[in-house]
Amino acid sequence: MHAQYRPLLLAATAASLHACTPSDDTPVSAIRRDSAGITIVESLRPAWGDSAHWRVDAEPLLDLAESGTGDPHNFYSVRSIGRLSDGSVVVANSGSNEIRKFSSDGRFLASAGGDGQGPGEFTNLQQIERVGDSILARDIASRVVLFGPDLEHIRTIRLQGYARGHLHYLGDGTLVAQVLMVYSERLGLIRDPEALLLFDLEGIRVDSIGSTPGAETYVTEVLDGQPLFGKAALVDTHGGRIYSGASDQMQVEELSPAGDTMRILRIPDFPLTLTPQQVEVERNARLNFPLPQGIESLPPPFVEAVEGMPVPETRPAYADLLVDAAGAIWLRPFRGMSEAAGPEPWLVLSPDGTWLGRVEIPEDFRLMDIGVDEVLGVWTDEMDVPHPQVRRLRRDSER
């Protein structure tokens, strides 16, 4: 966005698929078939039905904003949180451009970073990624810093191109990055493809393994931002595999490190159609929000740009993709600005690719990482204070 305004299908018919109907005539919830060496799993309905077999506790196991006092326990603009193998928790606090490390019981242990462009410093900390017991931190403009387990600075590198999405470690010494290689100079609704590139931990490009459609942006003379119900491409990794989805449909592709498609997991009939009324409500939400102090009304060019945004026919299928420690795929259904209130019901696909059902995430809790029996994220209180937290994840065996 211009700085002045920044504040401001079933794929095939059932007859063509190989499936077995259970002997008790229970409706088939998923169909699996192979096509040219690719396994395709199509889920027709959630295996859990209308119930939720997994749940996230309402109360945290650990709240880093309350586990101690002083500046290390004050947070602003938290971008990432994760647990290391020794039980410690690391947080990327973009507000201070710091990485902070805490013990398993929430005691502050160490910090690294700070404002600047020197070794180990950041201008706009975007993300941290665990690399074994080391930590990789992505700054703006594809500048990446590697820290050791005790947050000692190891090296600073710069990746080729603009890494627009998160970096993901494959576990074999390589990183996957979504890289925007060419910038459009057009106006209007734009979607530039992103290359999927592999880099080693020295920042050297190893391979190009494919591409994604990229993210939609809407560009005018005064506005450069997300259009109404803008679609994007998302990536995560687990077990040496890459999981990629473009959010145009409820589908995720599993890729090998060489970029070969191994599996396609989809929910073909997931409803995504938008009504004109829903689009209009979303447009109004873009024009009616609390203005910063000192600004009485939106600038007419900004209003004109929002009113000129195209009307999409479908919403994005999801806005986030995470693979948990057990290999289940979690998808956060897209919600627009006008739909943001209330708990978030994430969709979960089992490691074999079938749609299990939904897991409700407590209101105002932003999910960032998922373990076997815990989730990590940030809860925002009524005073808009962020609380990095760990919460218990109870799977069906614990009900």
Tens of pLDDT, residues 98-148: 999 999 999 999 999 999 999 999 999 999 999 998 999 999 878 999 999
State how far the Cα of 143 lies from the Cα of 138, in Å rounded to an integer: 6
State how far the Cα of 152 lies from the Cα of 306, in Å rounded to an integer: 46
Domain made up of 3-10+26-398: CATH architecture: 6 Propeller (2.120)
pLDDT tier at 25, thresholds 50, 70, 90: low
Domain residue extents for the chain = 3-10+26-398
pTM equals 0.90
DSSP codes of every residue in 93-141: ETTTTEEEEE-TTS-EEEEEE-BSSSTT-BSS--EEEEETTEEEEE-GG
Strands 205-212 and 194-200: antiparallel
State how far the Cα of 110 lies from the Cα of 153, in Å rounded to an integer: 13
pLDDT for position 11? 31
Tens of pLDDT, residues 380-390: 999 999 999 99
